[in-house]
Amino acid sequence: MTEELNPRNKEEVNVVEIEGPFPGLTEGLVLVDTPGSGSIYEHHDQLVHKFIPEADAVIFLVTARMPLDQDESQLLRRVKAADIRKVFFAINRVDECTESDLKDAIDHNLTLLKAVGLSTGQIYPISAKRAFQGVREAGGLTTLISDISSFVSRSREEALHTRFITRVLKVLEPAIQTLEFDLAMARRSDAELRDDLESLNQKRSSLEGTRNLAEREFLHTWNAAVDKMERGLEVEQNRVRAELMRHVGTVGLLDVRKFAKDLPTRLNRLLEDHLLIISQTFEEAAREACEKLQAEYPALGIQEGAGIVLRKRTSTNCSLERLEVSP
């Protein structure tokens, strides 16, 4: 079961089942111990994320001296996204810290949980070490186990029912959207459909014209930037060559070996100095041309409540005009 004796699960262990009497826990409860978040082994995180949607409730365990970090908050967001209705949040190793440190840790974790959008209802300070030594009450596990047992006995059927409905709705969501669109279309008269078709044909012609104009403007700007860069490269090439030759003329016979050794570095420095402005100018012009094309290029899209939406450039400026066609 360990990474040391079974690296990357080369033995292909799927699950290890441990059965036995656990006083205070409801019969039939299945507790799955997954790897923690932020593991140094990537496949551990994959196991956790794969199992989360299968859980009816989650026991989220952190230590008192190590409050929630970024990896754990990301895991909590996955728990929330999976629509898991109950999270038991426990802070372990409280026997190793002071009451002040524990309060700070609880306050920090409550703030982060609120930012994630999860409400745990209660945080359980526990000491697994003391409970293992037989002092369950001092270890704080009695309350946690009792609440888990109560949740399972009272809410298990409701949780299973709710999660079943949620999964069915997710599976049916594409079909429901298609049916809603078909129903909306079925309610329209033939005259309304013909009007929409005529409007779409007109907008298609306008769309093609606007696209052609945007493309021509982009190509003009792009080619102008490339031509300017090529002319600049030719000028700077001659300057670099002349500067390098001037330096060669000053090298004495005894310095030839040292000059040959330093030549690649000197040449790179000359190229960087002379080409920096040219490359920056071209990059700026190319970026502006691409951003302008993206902003002005007309496109069709589907907008909730508005049907088909056409984005196009107005005839007087570069602002965007949204033309709506009802479903």
Are residues 262 and 113 both part of a single domain?
A: no
Name the residue with higher pLDDT: 304 or 270.
Answer: 270
* Residue 24 belongs to some domain of the structure: yes
Q: Do 248 and 147 share a structural domain?
A: no
Residue 130, domain member (yes or no): yes
**Is 184 among the domain residues?**
no
Residue after which a domain boundary falls, among 168, 200, 227: 168
Tell whether the model's pLDDT for residue 303 goes beyond 70. Answer: no
Both 199 and 126 in one domain: the answer is no
Among 134, 168, 202, the domain-final residue is 168
Give domain status of residue 179, yes or no: no
Same domain assignment for residues 118 and 152: yes
pLDDT digits (tens, 9 = 90+) for 71-122: 777 777 777 776 676 788 888 888 888 888 888 888 888 888 887 777 767 8
Q: Would you say residue 40 has pLDDT above 60?
A: no
Give the pLDDT confidence score for residue 52 in this predicted structure. 74
Assigned domain for 235 exists? yes
Q: What pLDDT is recorded for position 322?
A: 43
Domain membership of residue 205 as a residue range:
190-325
Rounded percentage of the chain residues whose pLDDT exceeds 70: 80
Q: What pLDDT does 307 receive?
A: 53
The pLDDT of residue 302 is 53
Query: Three-state SS string across the chain, please?
Result: CCCCCCHHHCCCCCCCCCCCCCCCCCCCCCCCCCCCCCCCCHHHHHHHHHHHHHCCCEEEEEECCECCCHHHHHHHHHHHHCCCCCEEEEEECHHHCCHHHHHHHHHHHHHHHHHHCCCCCCEEECCHHHHHCCCHHHHCHHHHHHHHHHHHHHHHHHHHHHHHHHHHHHHHHHHHHHHHHHHHHHCCCHHHHHHHHHHHHHHHHHHHHHHHHHHHHHHHHHHHHHHHHHHHHHHHHHHHHHHHHHHHHCCCHHHHHHHHHHHHHHHHHHHHHHHHHHHHHHHHHHHHHHHHHHHHCCEEEEECCCEEEEEEECCCCCCEEEEEECC
Q: Same structural domain for residues 156 and 256?
A: no
117 and 254, same structural domain?
no
In a domain, 200, yes or no: yes
CA nearest neighbour of 131 among 118, 140, 123: 140
Work out the mean pLDDT of the chain and round it to a whole number. 76
The reported pTM is: 0.45
Report the number of distinct structural domains present in the chain.
2
Asked whether residue 178 is domain-assigned, the answer is no
Q: How confident is the model over 203-239, as pLDDT tens digits? A: 777 777 777 787 888 888 888 888 888 888 888 888 8
Check whether 311 has a pLDDT greater than 60.
no
For residues 33-39, give the mean pLDDT: 68
Instruction: Write down the pLDDT at residue 39.
Output: 53
So what's the pLDDT on residue 324?
43
pLDDT digits (tens, 9 = 90+) for 156-186: 677 667 767 777 777 778 888 888 777 777 7
Pair 63, 22 in one domain: yes
The pLDDT of residue 154 is above 70: yes
Please say which residue of 104, 138, 168 terminates a domain.
168
pLDDT at 246 over 60: yes
Residue 326: predicted pLDDT: 42
Over residues 24-45, the mean pLDDT reads 68
pLDDT at 153: 75
**Which pLDDT band holds residue 323 (cuts at 50, 70, 90)?**
very low
Claim to verify: residue 23 and residue 92 sit in the same structural domain = yes
- Band the pLDDT of 320: cuts 50, 70, 90: very low
Do 15 and 106 fall into the same domain? yes
> Residues 119, 40: one domain?
yes
CATH number at residue 19: 3.40.50.300
> What integer pLDDT is reported at residue 83 of this predicted model?
67
Q: Domain check: are 22 and 159 in the same one?
A: yes
Mean pLDDT of 187-199: 74
For 11-29, what is each residue's pLDDT tens digit? 888 888 888 777 767 666 7
Q: Is the pLDDT of residue 316 over 60?
A: no
> Residue 151: inside a domain, yes or no?
yes
> Are 133 and 194 in a shared domain?
no
